[in-house]
Chains A and B, each alone.
Chain A
């Protein structure tokens, strides 16, 4: 009887799928039931305005359905939900449309990458984007595809960069107005990063920039010799967009070779930076480099998180950033001004900032002949997994790795396109003592960048963080627990062992008035809702 009542409700209110205008993507607060971009909004707050699931009732969550990817790759995609239809990616590059209520399939688009597609670090994809009646995906062979959202039919396919030069696209595209914007991975192979915008209807290129300036451009002289040509600085996470300034923001990856800076003397702009680009032209308006002359692999490809907050007594448009280098930041997103920076985990490679926000290095915390322990580890204080900002708690939440380090040993490695140029190093994770590295979900106060609370885990985490207007925080980690915490206190409210690593960010949506929260673990997508009476 209960099932029948539920079924009738579902049927009676079957949702209509309407065109996804850019205005809808820009104003997700008007339709909290949908999740129209990678982090739920172009501010990347990964905050759901839904309120049905609360700190008080989250203990009543019940599994609704599981969808299993026919793939052995890591499941890093965040799903998109448009009016009851859920779009996700079966790694590396199959797109699947599911009924968001039952998890049953509408269509599957299968894609075969070119045989010379060879990306670093897992044949993964972090999600799709939607606009109009199309679904967009970047591929491991560095193409951008547009599919018909209703049928999964391929509508256009544009090559973004050369596959054979180790370019790949692993992140969800960023939609701005009538453009689809993507960046290219491949920095660990020395592939010089690209950000490019394409006409959403036709796939025609509108603009393109390199993340490393060419000869004659400002910043090119921050690379010794010809090292800029193979300097990396890839882009492998989604951007953010601020309509008031028409700026689109992307983080850039490490310079190459990763752990050998002697071949690329200088600051190596714009590696490990955030770039503020005019969304219409790609013109660089400002940049901030988090780690000048990086020799540890501190990619800055975290998603930029934008927030409008009270700052020192007045409203300010800021960008929040918890970086792989162990430092957290508040930047003015209009001007790029450095407002505040502070370690959010144990950091030993720097001991302060100059007034412009340049980190002051500790001598010797680079690869040395005898080996030097650098903290945080090369895998970072946090990595690509998306953080969250709740405008209700005014806290910034990040999945972090505390007390980790790497012993870096100086070495030499020849560098050429297609050869692994990472240099030589010895990795020594500190995993044997009580104070050794561990994963933690950490709440930071943007006013001070001080820790408000911690939820420590035994193992590290590659899980993203979701907060909701019910003041619940959802996250998980490598251990495979899906966790619900009190967003104000960090108290554990509910947990479920999903039997596989959580390697993505949770998200939330609603259909016919019922709130769901979904997360990928292992190779499956797990969807929960409150038990119905």
Chain B
């Protein structure tokens, strides 16, 4: 089941996911959550999470929990006077299980449009102008996140969400920063390092730049320069691009 949901690129899941549960979980974290679920939870809840009456973990139906935090608490502390025992999971482990359940639920909610990898590659390189900022292998720009191994790092549902709402889940290494020198010269780029006195970034011209804050008129995070593709691409094109992206699994460069 998990393989179907996570591994195959052909299905595009259109529904908006509950992003909060997965904000900082990688595909590897979710896989890990799935392993924990199957070894520790599935005995009672079943592999599909629907064996306890009134609860369907794989479809987001819970008796008591509303939020992810509720779920983490229940996994850690159990529910008194029921069959749900406490565990010795750390908050991070519990959160990974929750992320797994949310990802399963999100996947099931979706209607599906079948994407085409080669059409997706064409959209990526053409109409989508993705390579203006992103790099795949040795082609494209280094300014945005390198996508050579994105299929190992992100699931289809997350990629689609990033295309619809680029600001919703930006990894810490991909944040956009802008500095303005005293003479008014502004530089925007991907933030590489920041400390009390200096800022380092890869600017829009792919130059490594370092600034002393004492020399700047203004500095701070700005929104991702990536536009939403909600209206720029059709649902089919979106599905094609996502299908292409999940095939990018360059293991030399994750």
A431–B24 Cα distance when bound, in Å, is: 59
The answer to whether A10 and B207 touch across the interface, beta carbons within 8 angstroms, is no
The answer to whether A150 and B208 touch across the interface, beta carbons within 8 angstroms, is yes
A11 at the binding interface (Cβ < 8 Å) = yes
B212 at the binding interface (Cβ < 8 Å) = yes
A104–B194 Cα distance when bound, in Å, is: 9
B230 at the binding interface (Cβ < 8 Å) = no
Contacts of B212 in A (CB 8 A): 7, 10-11, 102
Q: Taking CB as reference atom, which chain B residue is nearest A153?
A: B253
A350 at the binding interface (Cβ < 8 Å) = no
Q: Taking CB as reference atom, which chain A residue is nearest B183?
A: A12
Contacts of A16 in B (CB 8 A): 207
Question: Given A8-B182, A11-B215, A104-B198, does the pair A151, B142 have CB atoms closer than 8 Å?
Answer: yes
The answer to whether A105 and B253 touch across the interface, beta carbons within 8 angstroms, is no
The answer to whether A105 and B193 touch across the interface, beta carbons within 8 angstroms, is yes
Q: Taking CB as reference atom, which chain B residue is nearest A203?
A: B252
Contacts of B192 in A (CB 8 A): 105-107
**Count of A interface residues, CB-CB < 8 Å:** 27
B207–chain A nearest beta-carbon distance, Å: 6
Q: Taking CB as reference atom, which chain B residue is nearest A151?
A: B142
The answer to whether B208 and A106 touch across the interface, beta carbons within 8 angstroms, is yes
Cβ contacts B209-232/A at 8 Å (1 or 0 each): 111101100000000000000000
Cβ contacts A55-85/B at 8 Å (1 or 0 each): 0000000000000000000000000000011
B181 at the binding interface (Cβ < 8 Å) = yes
A97 at the binding interface (Cβ < 8 Å) = yes
The answer to whether B252 and A99 touch across the interface, beta carbons within 8 angstroms, is no
Contacts of A7 in B (CB 8 A): 212, 214-215
The answer to whether A102 and B210 touch across the interface, beta carbons within 8 angstroms, is yes
A157–B252 Cα distance when bound, in Å, is: 8
Contacts of B146 in A (CB 8 A): 151, 153
Contacts of B142 in A (CB 8 A): 148, 150-151
Contacts of A84 in B (CB 8 A): 208, 210
A11–B198 Cα distance when bound, in Å, is: 12
B72 at the binding interface (Cβ < 8 Å) = no
A136–chain B nearest beta-carbon distance, Å: 15
Contacts of B214 in A (CB 8 A): 3-4, 7
The answer to whether B210 and A99 touch across the interface, beta carbons within 8 angstroms, is yes
Contacts of A148 in B (CB 8 A): 142
Among B148, B197, B202, B215, find the residue whose CB has the most chain A CB atoms closer than 10 A: B215
Question: Given A8-B182, A105-B193, A148-B142, does the pair A154, B210 have CB atoms closer than 8 Å?
Answer: no
B77–chain A nearest beta-carbon distance, Å: 37
A156–chain B nearest beta-carbon distance, Å: 7
Interface residues in A145-194 (C-beta closer than 8 Å to B):
148, 150-151, 153-157
Contacts of A155 in B (CB 8 A): 138, 252-253
The answer to whether B200 and A99 touch across the interface, beta carbons within 8 angstroms, is yes
A496 at the binding interface (Cβ < 8 Å) = no
A14 at the binding interface (Cβ < 8 Å) = yes
Among B195, B210, B214, find the residue whose CB has the most chain A CB atoms closer than 10 A: B210
B125 at the binding interface (Cβ < 8 Å) = no
Q: Taking CB as reference atom, which chain B residue is nearest A7?
A: B215
Which residue from B148, B181, B207, B211 sits with its C-beta under 8 Å from A17? B207
The answer to whether A85 and B215 touch across the interface, beta carbons within 8 angstroms, is no
Q: Taking CB as reference atom, which chain B residue is nearest A511?
A: B210
**Count of B interface residues, CB-CB < 8 Å:** 24
Cβ contacts A400-425/B at 8 Å (1 or 0 each): 00000000000000000000000000
A179–B200 Cα distance when bound, in Å, is: 31
B165 at the binding interface (Cβ < 8 Å) = no
A403–chain B nearest beta-carbon distance, Å: 47
B92 at the binding interface (Cβ < 8 Å) = no
A14–B211 Cα distance when bound, in Å, is: 9
A7–B183 Cα distance when bound, in Å, is: 13
B70 at the binding interface (Cβ < 8 Å) = no
A155–B252 Cα distance when bound, in Å, is: 7
A199–chain B nearest beta-carbon distance, Å: 14
Interface residues in A66-123 (C-beta closer than 8 Å to B):
84-85, 97, 99, 101-102, 104-107
A14–chain B nearest beta-carbon distance, Å: 6
A512–chain B nearest beta-carbon distance, Å: 11
Q: Taking CB as reference atom, which chain A residue is nearest B146?
A: A153
Q: Taking CB as reference atom, which chain A residue is nearest B252?
A: A154
Which residue from A11, A107, A150, A157 sits with its C-beta under 8 Å from B181? A11
The answer to whether B193 and A106 touch across the interface, beta carbons within 8 angstroms, is yes
A532–chain B nearest beta-carbon distance, Å: 14
The answer to whether A150 and B252 touch across the interface, beta carbons within 8 angstroms, is no
Q: Taking CB as reference atom, which chain B residue is nearest A82?
A: B208
Q: Taking CB as reference atom, which chain B residue is nearest A146?
A: B252
The answer to whether B208 and A97 touch across the interface, beta carbons within 8 angstroms, is yes
Question: Given A4-B215, A10-B215, A155-B253, does the pair A104, B202 have CB atoms closer than 8 Å?
Answer: no
The answer to whether A99 and B182 touch across the interface, beta carbons within 8 angstroms, is no
A101–B200 Cα distance when bound, in Å, is: 12
Contacts of A153 in B (CB 8 A): 146, 148, 253
A161–B249 Cα distance when bound, in Å, is: 27
Which residue from B181, B210, B253 sits with its C-beta under 8 Å from A104? B210
B181–chain A nearest beta-carbon distance, Å: 6
Cβ contacts A10-34/B at 8 Å (1 or 0 each): 1100101100000000000000000
The answer to whether B206 and A150 touch across the interface, beta carbons within 8 angstroms, is yes
Contacts of A157 in B (CB 8 A): 252
B155–chain A nearest beta-carbon distance, Å: 22
The answer to whether B215 and A156 touch across the interface, beta carbons within 8 angstroms, is no
Among A3, A7, A105, find the residue whose CB has the most chain B CB atoms closer than 10 A: A7
A99–B212 Cα distance when bound, in Å, is: 11
A1–chain B nearest beta-carbon distance, Å: 11
Q: Taking CB as reference atom, which chain A residue is nearest B201?
A: A106
Contacts of B252 in A (CB 8 A): 154-157
Q: Taking CB as reference atom, which chain A residue is nearest B212?
A: A7
B52–chain A nearest beta-carbon distance, Å: 42
Among A8, A11, A16, A106, find the residue whose CB has the most chain B CB atoms closer than 10 A: A11
B91–chain A nearest beta-carbon distance, Å: 26
> Apart from A102-B210, A151-B202, what are 20 other A-B pairs with CB-CB below 8 Å?
A7-B215, A10-B215, A14-B209, A14-B210, A16-B207, A17-B208, A99-B208, A104-B195, A105-B192, A105-B200, A106-B192, A106-B200, A106-B202, A148-B142, A150-B142, A150-B202, A150-B208, A153-B253, A155-B252, A156-B252
What would be 6 A-B contacts, judged by CB atoms less than 8 Å apart?
A4-B214, A16-B207, A84-B208, A150-B208, A153-B146, A155-B253
The chain B residues found within 8 Å of chain A, CB to CB, are 138, 142, 146, 148, 181-182, 192-193, 195, 197-198, 200, 202, 206-212, 214-215, 252-253
> What 6 A-B pairs are tightest by C-beta distance, nearest first?
A99-B210, A7-B215, A7-B212, A11-B215, A106-B208, A104-B198
